[in-house]
Amino acid sequence: MVSHSELRKLFCSADAVCFDVDSTVIREEGIDELAKFCGVEDAVSEMTRRAMGGAVPFKAALTERLALIQPSREQVQRLIAEHPPHLTPGIRELVSHLQERNVQVFLISGGFRSIVEHVASKLNIPSTNVFANRLKFYFNGEYAGFDEMQPTAESGGKGKVIKLLKEKFHFKKIIMIGDGATDMEACPPADVFIGFGGNVIRQQVKDNAEWYITDFVELLGELEE
């Protein structure tokens, strides 16, 4: 068990910080918002709850939910335009502070790349630092599935992305921050996992994370000390 002071030192000396997106960087769960927009909210929300709690393999849960939603390209574009995701308070300042310290910031999400890239642009995070699932569409814009080859499409995918980042960029210390079971299981290979409960508290994560916060102000405070 690493002491809290050691965890704080690791966070302040990290050369890369990876954030989950849904219910962490943004207040919503993107797939639930898409389901609501497409009129199948209740059934999909229950599936998301089970998937985030670690009760269902991620790819199976994603396949099942998308089969229900069947989102078209136009619906995804309209969702982003008409109901853009809301940034979690403090995230803009935290990312900006990390970038000022030359820390690389990545978004690693089981959500959809089109939505996550929109979020990344709001935070001045380059699209090359975004890892998320790609929806596929037929030429007429109808839903055609998702790219199952993306590492984020399966359980353990976030850990695979972090392993790739370490191999490619030779980062010495990577921090993973997120609200869900899929975020917690990415450590290792991440060096530190920080559980985030500012939008939703997942009991399994709260009980098992060595460092658990409910406000990004706490991390900003660590950087400013």
CA distance 194 to 80: 28
CA distance 160 to 185: 10
Decide if 20 is catalytic: yes
Catalytic residue among 15, 20, 183, 191: 20
Query: CB count, 10 Å around CB of 170?
Result: 8
CA distance 74 to 142: 8
Burial class (CB in 10 A: 0-12, 13-18, 19+), 18: buried
Catalytic residue among 15, 22, 191, 215: 22
Decide if 22 is catalytic: yes
- Quickly list DSSP for 29-70: -HHHHHHHHTT-HHHHHHHHHHHHTTSS-HHHHHHHHHHHH-
Q: Which are the catalytic amino acids? A: 20, 22
